[in-house]
Structure 1
């Protein structure tokens, strides 16, 4: 079996680091707007959860579960031969099906974590994983007990706090649509990060099903197959790695690809997700899906023309299409607000449901 802790990083290039104690205040929004990931050493070093983890896995679990409200969650369990990599099973490669290599079940989280603790250190055991789980929804009061940050400003009006718990597991490289502060509370983790433009060199898998809700890279980072995935060598050159211990955090912008390895027998991580886009804006993924429906299979010359239109109306300066138009004539080209967004959404639904 491949042990995720024994693998070497695929790159020696390190994510830029700052020390929380020396930096004083940390502005996550400013850091993500700079467009690169950054490691903040010791950002969560004073959390009670981090302190409990220093006394061992059981102490960390007991502290966490003292806040548990009994709500059933989802536990993911993969057989030992998967090596902790939550991915597709062999049916993907023989073309017979597209199945995942793990089981998901509704569980009481205290029971599931208790079972997890009984198998720690057993290399013949399955791997156990509780994926992104809403902190307030399952462990109310944990953040307020000192396991949190001061996140000021309008960008953080809708910040989501989630927790990850598990054994030695690997989340294959994927991207999320929110900015992220990933804080290691217990154990050690390795993040390997890639800028968004490396997407083709990472060989994305199917849109669905996916191991965790997002498209993942098909490359096995433990042993990259460069005959099957030759351009992954280019992604390696662009990769940055962050090795994190308890209390450390990595902050990175939305849509950066990240491959996450939990390197200890027992691990906990708390994420802070945010996006400064107004709540009335639609998901860009919906636009992508509609683009598959409306644009992808058109002729190359027509797609080039539409690319020019998108550059003008969407990806270029927001004020350019309206600079020469009077206010009354701007319609949906004007800056959106909740009312105009509802009107535009209604118009789209009417056109789609033709």
Structure 2
């Protein structure tokens, strides 16, 4: 028997205009924000009916083409890989929101509908005015976190992580989230870095029918999992780097999410460093790799001030906190050497 994930901690009484962001960040664990978006007009429309929710979206649609994924019924609502993991099982298309909604509506009663999935499209670019009655007030905290919208039928987003912190609001339908702390990467069997179904590596384990003979360490991952089913109007805080598997549970589902980072704009994503390390470190002899581990622990993963604290301030340069000027200098230095 596989372990049953522990429930995500719930926080009641949250309001869109009073986000407990500092407490969430300090806690560093997933939290279910019960009913925080219950007053959104889109949530109210969805509780009325699927047709009302679609009509509400159509009322704000500006007709701009947007990207979406399509797959035949055999996809099973799971944008994923072909059997050899070298290609995706869905097609990347472009079309209007109205077209995608029409297609989803035509298959609402199908037991095995084609996959239609609009993923992470900026709300303001395709649904102007929707935020007036459907928004969380990040601006009150001085944070620019423009929302993205996710629209589809019964879609499964395979387990993955995101670098920014995230609040995901369930607007229409219900969604099940299964989450794992970052250290469980070793037990989740990540797939290729490229291509990926959604921009990040995903676990190749089928959560609906896990093959424990092929992926035995997944049992250990489940020992550390958290789970929550979000009703319309609920939201979930997903800390940076936590893995999350998301399942749409209704024939029509809409989610709105907000990504944000505490880092300034001049600090790039660590994914660049990961690719560079794969290229320059991973295949070296084990003795050298262990030596580089010590170097990285000293300069990067230990206390930020340690490597430069014994030096006078003018001599610290990149060992001091990285400001915008230093960031530009480091970028130029790296580009010059990579282009040699």
- Structure 2 residue corresponding to 1:18, chosen from 1, 11, 20: 11
**Which segment is superposed worse, 52-61 or 193-202?**
52-61
- Structure 2: unaligned runs, 5 residues or longer: none
- Structure 1 residue corresponding to 2:282, chosen from 287, 296, 306: 296
Distance 1:125 1:132, change over 3 A: same
Distance 1:24 1:134, change over 3 A: closer
Q: Output aligned runs, 1:1-354, within 5 Å.
A: 11-20=4-13, 25-92=18-85, 98-143=86-131, 145-151=132-138, 152-154=140-142, 156=143, 158-354=144-340
**Which segment is superposed worse, 197-206 or 106-115?**
106-115
CA shift for structure 1 position 44: 0.2
CA distance in 2, matches of 1:349, 1:284: 16
CA shift for structure 1 position 21: 5.2
CA distance in 2, matches of 1:62, 1:48: 12
| Matched position secondary structure for 1:311 | helix
For 1:3, the equivalent position in structure 2 comes to none
Distance 1:132 1:337, change over 3 A: same
TM-score by length of 2: 0.96
Deviations 1:302-352 (A, max 9, x none): 111111111111111111112111111112111111111101110111111
**Which segment is superposed worse, 129-138 or 75-84?**
75-84
Deviations 1:145-167 (A, max 9, x none): 2211222334x2x3131000011
CA distance in 2, matches of 1:185, 1:91: 35
CA distance in 1, matches of 2:305, 2:316: 11
Checking the alignment, whether the CA contact within 8 Å between 1:80 and 1:123 is kept in structure 2 is: no
Runs of 4+ in 1 over 6 A off after TM superposition: none
- Give the length in aligned residue pairs: 338
CA shift for structure 1 position 33: 2.9
CA distance in 2, matches of 1:319, 1:232: 37
**Which segment is superposed worse, 238-247 or 28-37?**
28-37
Deviations 1:73-132 (A, max 9, x none): 01212221222111112243xxxxx12111121101111112211210211321211111
CA distance in 1, matches of 2:325, 2:89: 45
CA distance in 1, matches of 2:244, 2:112: 27
CA shift for structure 1 position 23: 12
| Matched position secondary structure for 1:76 | strand
CA distance in 1, matches of 2:4, 2:258: 26
Checking the alignment, whether the CA contact within 8 Å between 1:86 and 1:171 is kept in structure 2 is: yes
Deviations 1:24-45 (A, max 9, x none): 9431243033111000110100
- Structure 1: unaligned runs, 5 residues or longer: 1-8, 93-97
For 1:95, the equivalent position in structure 2 comes to none
Checking the alignment, whether the CA contact within 8 Å between 2:167 and 2:258 is kept in structure 1 is: yes
Distance 1:21 1:290, change over 3 A: closer
Distance 1:347 1:21, change over 3 A: closer
TM-score by length of 1: 0.92
